[in-house]
Structure 1
Amino acid sequence: MLRSTHAGRSLLEVLMTLAVGLVPITSGLAVMGYQLDKKLEQVSSTSLQEALFVIDRALDDVNQTTLKALPLSGKPCRAVQDELKGLVLRSPHLHSLSLTQDGQAYCSSASAFALHSPNFAPGEHVKLDFGVPTVPNEAILEYRLPDKNPGVSASAYGVKLRNELNGFQSGLVLLLEFGDNYLWSAGDSRSAERPSQAEYFQSEASTKYGYTVKVGFPAGYRQQELLQATLQTLPSLALVGLLTSAFIYWGLFRSRKKAIHDATR
């Protein structure tokens, strides 16, 4: 009876030692998961604000060039077309500048035979367009000065916006939405599927230009990052757990040995 009691107590001590050894492992993994959540949430939030800043700045450049062309509006095309071309040459991100009357282009820096008049919705002055006659396979950003007649409109290459998006952290998907059309670093709304932004999703509209930035990590990204971090950290946590178990077991062993010694005195 005494032997079975001793065996049961020893088994209980081993189980308790193992349980205590698991505490630093489970708590370490829990803290790591919490820190990963905070990190990804912060990356998403910070990238959203940075994207709004850099895209607004890119559109500011388009706006400034368009304002420089405004004094030419209303003048005969033949008299000012060379100046329009010069403005475009000094702004490599631009595809063309057009002078407009009642919303219709009557003069373009691109070609007198390739006039293009984007269809802006009421109150809209920035849009993403596809199928512009002179660049049919490109994503083109269309911009017009609001409330100007005669006025000026500008066409900028969408690749400039993609280049801005490529500067952000790998793994995060940033998408720029202009009404029903959108683009991201690897495609646009002509693609077969919209990119996944299922995790840590955030969005905000530009107060200056009306487009929307949407950011998020693709589905499964957190699990992948957590697995990678676990594989890197688990050996260290396991060592801590093993040392903790050994220390506890040694303490229990000493206590039991002391108790036996005191009982035999």
Structure 2
Amino acid sequence: MWGFTFHRRTVLELMLTVFISCLPIASGLMVMIYQQDRKLEDNARVSVTEAIHSVDLALERMHTAAVTALPLAQTSCDIARDKLVKLVSNLQSLQGLMLAKDEIVYCSTMPSPLYDSAQPVAFKSPVSLVVDPFSTPNAVLIAYQLLHEKSSVIALAYGLELRNELRAFKDGLILLLEFGDTYITASGDSRDPRRPSQTEYRTTGVSAKFGYTVVAGYPAGYSTQEARNTILQVAPSLALVGIFTGVVFFWGMSNHRIKRGSTAAKNNDDGT
């Protein structure tokens, strides 16, 4: 009977030791996953704000060029063209300038027409993406239109300007800029057969100055992969902590059992 009781007690102590050993491992993993979730969520939110700031600066340069060229929209192309060319040459980020009247472009610094000259040029918003423009097939242009009565100035830049801003974010987060029905990312745009995955920690923000939308998010499965990589890195350390905790606990129980046995034996001797 005594042997059965001792065996059962030993098994219970071992089970309890294993349980105590697993506690720091489980709690450490839970804290790690929680911190990772907060980190990814915060990064998406902060990145949206930073992207709006940097893209606004790029578009602000186009706005400044359009404002400078606006007085030329009241003149003929013969008078305005040389001044437009000079203005474009002074800004490396600017690809071209166009003047329009009654939505028809009548003067442009582009070597070939951006649009079919017979078609009116009208944008739904001040900033638009021109996908596969008439003058540069397979390219994406940013068009900023500044209106004044029936005249307008259209400042143009390559989509690379925006792509470079988005490529500054290199931590796995996918940033997408929406301009109406079109979008652009660091490596793609509206012509892609499938929109990039941004299902995890999806966050959006709208530019107060120019009205475009920034969408940030991680692709499906990203957080799981990150958690797996982190677990592989911290698992050995957590295992050592768990083993040490279990050893200390088991040693403490063993000492307590020995002391209790010695006390019981002494009491029996005194009673004898």
For the criterion TM > 0.5, the same-fold answer is yes
Q: Distance in 2 between matches of 1:151 and 1:17?
A: 78
Larger mean Cα displacement after TM superposition, 160-169 or 143-152: 143-152
Q: 1:195 matched to which residue of 2?
A: 196
Q: Any gaps of 5 or more consecutive residues in structure 2?
A: 267-272
Q: 1:151 matched to which residue of 2?
A: 152
Q: 2:49 matched to which residue of 1?
A: 49
Q: Any gaps of 5 or more consecutive residues in structure 1?
A: none
Backbone CA RMSD of aligned residues: 1.2
Distance 1:89 1:237, change over 3 A: same
Q: 1:221 matched to which residue of 2?
A: 222
Alignment of 1:252-263 (within 5 A): 252-263=253-264
What TM-score does the superposition give when structure 1 sets the normalisation length? 0.96
Per the TM alignment, residue 147 of structure 1 is displaced from its structure 2 partner at its CA by 4.0
Note the alpha carbon deviations across 1:94-145, whole angstroms, 9 max, x for none.
221011111211101114x626353313xx2111111212211111111111
Aligned length: 262
Larger Rg: 2
Q: 1:13 matched to which residue of 2?
A: 13
Note the alpha carbon deviations across 1:215-247, whole angstroms, 9 max, x for none.
000011100111111111011110000000000
What TM-score does the superposition give when structure 2 sets the normalisation length? 0.93
Q: 1:78 matched to which residue of 2?
A: 78
Alignment of 1:103-182 (within 5 A): 103-111=103-111, 114=113, 116=115, 118-121=121-124, 124-182=125-183
Q: Distance in 2 between matches of 1:3 and 1:31?
A: 43
AA aligned opposite 2:113: A
3-state SS of 2:44 partner: helix
3-state SS of 1:83 partner: helix
- Percent of pairs with identical residues: 41
Q: Is the 8 A contact 1:118 1:142 kept in 2?
A: no
Q: Is the 8 A contact 1:202 1:216 kept in 2?
A: yes
Larger mean Cα displacement after TM superposition, 209-218 or 69-78: 69-78
Distance 1:137 1:118, change over 3 A: farther
Per the TM alignment, residue 150 of structure 1 is displaced from its structure 2 partner at its CA by 2.1
